Amino acid sequence: MKIALVTPYDYPFPGGVTEHIMQLDREFRRRGHDTRIIAASSTDDTLDENVIKVSGTVSSFPFSGSNVRVTISPQVYQRIKKILKREKFDVVHAHEPAAPPLCPIVLHHSRAVNIGTFHAYRETNTAYQITRPLLTPLYNKLDGRIFVSQAVRDFTLATFAGDYRVIPNGIDVQRFAAPHIEPIKRFDDERPNILYVGRLDKRKGFEYLLRAFPRIKEQIPNARLLVVGAFDAQEKEPFVRWTRQQQLTSVHFVGYVSRQELPRYYRTATLFCAPSTGFESFGIVLLEAMAAGIPIVASDITGYRQVLTHQHEGVLVPPYEPEAIANAAVQLLRDARTRHNMAHAGRITARRYDWTHIAEQVLSYYDELLLERKNAHKHITYTRWNWQRPFLSASE
């Protein structure tokens, strides 16, 4: 099967959609399928040979409490037409199919079986309702729709109907659970480490974890906070300034780490914290922590409730509340037995989301839609022949 995986975002800039596509690509190729990743990319580094770069021009725009990195190059339109004509894909799989401009352009020109995976979740669907007349033709181009969670499904189907599957995000369990993973040596000193992984966008809620940290230090004086994510000096500057004002010397802004290094930070952690305030469709970082055997303190929001059960793999606390974060963190840091039980439960939960299972579900959906297309073509051909038969007989 020849498959196009399309992302509207800067590739391979770190992010949930990027990771999702990379893992599907890996699993599909491992099974012998021919895949291409169609994307814009701002990197000058060498991309994998199956990545089709449509533009090197990428701009960043604020959207829903985060920043999205997309191309707005007008040259993309003609390039996409040529790519689709040349490659002749069996399946075109667009991630965030409504995200302009790349995915809508691809779907407009594609004659393959078109599938869209919807990752984004909003608290309201007002934007969808306003733009519905513009988006309806795009959604009609989709033969199938995949939602990464029930929350995304409910959010999207309130405006757009159609055939769908709920297939969650996945995780490479062995990457985080392998016993040979070494902790980060400079932080491996028996002090309790609280780990945060993510960008410093407003919706990620890092400021509430940071404000909770002095309360944690009051009761656990040797606690340390490790901040890992794809953020730059400008983005971290106000937080660094605040820690200096508070004389917090135990906050370490690590910044970006490679895919190879990330599991080592999980292995170094005593506790993982995800203080997002909303707009999370799925808790992929929660699954990473679970696979690594780390108990979790996370915001009680829709996307995280899809993955974590309160008091099972971790603790859910109200968003926007530093005191609640601090109380939950202190309680777990003081209770080794509960941490052990939550770590065990988390490992079991994470295994259900391994990419080997998720990729199989996606491929099964592809096969189903390809068969429907084939049967529909046979029906149209037979109907056309039946309609023409009297005229053909008369001409004989």
Residues 128-177 have pLDDT tens digits of 566 777 778 888 899 999 999 888 888 777 777 777 899 999 999 999 99
Q: Are residues 303 and 188 in the same domain?
A: yes
Partner residues linked to 113 by β-bridges: 91
State the Cα–Cα distance between residues 52 and 99, nearest whole angstrom.
18
Residues 50-98 have pLDDT tens digits of 999 999 999 988 766 577 889 888 899 999 999 999 999 999 999 999 8
In DSSP notation, 334-352 reads T-HHHHHHHHHHHHHHHHT
Q: Are residues 111 and 184 in the same domain?
A: no
Query: Which of 353, 376, 362 is closest to 93 using CA atoms?
Result: 362
Indicate the helix (H) or strand (E) that contains 1: none
Q: Are residues 152 and 47 in the same domain?
A: yes
Range with the poorest average pLDDT among 5-19, 120-134, 191-205: 120-134
Is the residue at 389 inside a domain? no
Q: Are residues 191 and 331 in the same domain?
A: yes
Range with the poorest average pLDDT among 117-121, 255-259, 292-296, 300-304: 117-121
Q: How far is CA 99 from CA 193, 257, 304, in A?
A: 38, 27, 23
Q: Are residues 167 and 361 in contact, defined by beta-carbon separation less than 8 angstroms?
A: yes
State the Cα–Cα distance between residues 182 and 184, nearest whole angstrom.
7
pLDDT higher than 90, residue 388: no
Residue 47 CB neighbours (<10 A): 15
Q: Are residues 347 and 358 in the same domain?
A: no
Q: What pLDDT shows up at residue 162?
A: 73
Q: Are residues 232 and 364 in the same domain?
A: no
Give me the domain span that covers residue 228. Answer: 173-351
Q: Are residues 277 and 247 in the same domain?
A: yes
Q: Are residues 287 and 139 in the same domain?
A: no
pLDDT tier for residue 246 given thresholds of 50, 70 and 90: very high
Q: What is the dihedral of CA 49, 54, 60, 62, to 10 degrees?
A: -100
Number of domains in the chain: 2
CATH code, domain carrying 30: 3.40.50.2000
Contacts 24+ apart (CB under 8 A), 153-161: 155/121, 155/122, 155/125, 156/118, 156/125, 156/128, 158/125, 158/128, 159/125, 159/128, 159/129, 159/132, 160/128, 160/132, 160/135, 160/136
Is the residue at 234 inside a domain? yes
Burial of 82 (0-12, 13-18, 19+ CB in 10 A): exposed
Residues 323-359 have pLDDT tens digits of 999 999 999 999 999 999 999 999 999 999 999 999 9
Q: Are residues 201 and 115 in the same domain?
A: no
Q: Are residues 92 and 114 in contact, defined by beta-carbon separation less than 8 angstroms?
A: yes
